[in-house]
């Protein structure tokens, strides 16, 4: 089970939101590269970056901060990024910068043709981010709820060739109320590609629950607010996950 620290970027700073609300941002650091170093030194094997401003603007906004992180740790572990990625040129530029994976969310739902083209052009590097509430997919920084079922869309993108699905329960994100394990398992069982859990991670109990169902196809979990406010010791949690998985 891969524990993946999240670094959410807003105006060049590291923040965390509650349920995607940009006005409810808590700043955890002014130096994204130093934050990335902190998590790598704590044992992280992958980093999850989100350009929050980009997600709302529909284009990259925090590219400078992303590059600073890649200069700091990009050669050591894979780094993935989502937020505001809407065209193939942006994907190519980010991959050239040193990102390992590009996460496409809103654009995948609104423009499936773009998603198909991205998987075709950059096979092995594309992850789809599906944010949902009560099983329905949301877009545009979670501000719009669609009528699409998560499982149906995930199957379609699996056919396109995405590497993995990041599944976020947006009713729980940033709220420390616990991962929606049941919904994550249901999605993983419907797919052959890995699912990465996200949204609501509260503590070590969530990690242990996810490790119990890893065999269903859940390969990792995004760690956000819990590792920033001290509710979860990242290094100890990754060691515990490795113990449970026999690594």
**Is the distance from CB of 224 to CB of 16 less than 8 angstroms?**
yes
Residue 109 contacts residue 146 (beta carbons within 8 Å): yes
* CA–CA distance, 244 with 130 (Å, rounded to integer): 27
**For the chain, what's the residue count?**
247
pLDDT digits (tens, 9 = 90+) for 171-217: 776 666 789 999 999 999 999 999 999 988 999 999 999 999 999 99
Is residue 53 over pLDDT 80? Answer: yes
Q: How confident is the model at residue 246 (pLDDT cuts 50, 70, 90)?
A: confident
Torsion of CA 246, 41, 129, 140, to 10 degrees: 150
Report residue 52 as tokens. Answer: 């929050």
- Percent of the chain predicted with pLDDT > 90: 78
pLDDT confidence band for 226 (50 / 70 / 90): very high
81 three-state secondary structure: strand
| pTM of structure | 0.94
Radius of gyration of the chain measured on its C-alpha atoms: 16
Q: Which secondary-structure segment (H or E) carries 166?
A: strand 164-169
Q: How confident is the model at residue 72 (pLDDT cuts 50, 70, 90)?
A: very high
Query: What mean pLDDT comes out for the span 131-136?
Result: 85
Biggest alpha carbon distance in the chain? 43
Measure the CA–CA gap between 146 and 17, rounded to whole angstroms.
22
Lowest mean pLDDT among 18-22, 30-34, 132-136, 186-190: 18-22
Q: How far apart are CA 132 and CA 211, in angstroms?
A: 22
What is d(CA 104, CA 83) in angstroms, rounded to the nearest whole number?
7
Catalytic residue numbers, as ranges = 8, 131
SS3 content of the chain, % helix, strand, coil (to 5): 40, 30, 30
**Side-chain half-sphere exposure of 177, counting CA atoms within 13 A:** 12
Selected residue with higher pLDDT from 106 and 234:
234
For the ranges 54-58, 95-99, 119-123, 205-209, the lowest mean pLDDT is seen at 54-58
- pLDDT above 90 (res 67): yes
Please give the average per-residue pLDDT across 65-91, as a whole number: 96
Q: How far apart are CA 17 and CA 50, in angstroms?
A: 11
Give start and end residues of each alpha helix (H) in the chain.
32-41, 52-57, 63-73, 88-97, 106-110, 112-121, 150-160, 181-189, 204-212, 225-228, 234-245
- For residue 143, the model assigns a pLDDT of 67
CA atoms within 13 A on the CB side of 52: 22
Residue 47 near residue 5 (C-beta atoms within 8 A): yes
């Amino acid at each position: 089970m891969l524990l993946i620290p999240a670094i959410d970027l807003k105006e060049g700073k590291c923040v965390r939101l509650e349920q995607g609300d940009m006005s409810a941002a808590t700043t955890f650091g002014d130096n994204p590269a130093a934050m990335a170093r902190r998590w790598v030194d704590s044992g992280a094997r992958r980093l999850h970056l989100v350009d929050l401003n980009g997600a709302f603007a529909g284009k990259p906004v925090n590219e400078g901060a992303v590059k600073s992180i890649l200069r700091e740790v990009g050669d050591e572990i894979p780094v993935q990024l989502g937020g505001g990625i809407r065209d193939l040129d942006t994907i190519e530029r980010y991959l050239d910068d040193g990102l390992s994976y590009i996460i496409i969310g809103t654009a995948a739902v609104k423009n499936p043709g773009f998603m198909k083209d991205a998987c075709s052009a950059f096979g092995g590097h594309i992850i789809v981010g599906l944010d949902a509430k009560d099983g329905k997919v949301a877009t545009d920084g979670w501000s719009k709820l669609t009528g699409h079922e998560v499982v149906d869309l995930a199957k379609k993108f699996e056919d396109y060739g995405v590497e993995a699905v990041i599944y976020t329960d947006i009713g729980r994100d940033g709220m420390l109320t616990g991962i929606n394990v049941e919904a994550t398992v249901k999605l993983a069982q419907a797919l052959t590609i890995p699912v990465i859990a996200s949204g609501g991670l509260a503590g070590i109990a969530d990690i242990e629950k996810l490790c119990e169902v890893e065999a269903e196809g859940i390969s990792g979990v995004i760690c956000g607010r819990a590792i920033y406010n001290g509710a979860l010791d990242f290094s100890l949690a990754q060691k515990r996950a490795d113990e449970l998985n026999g690594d």
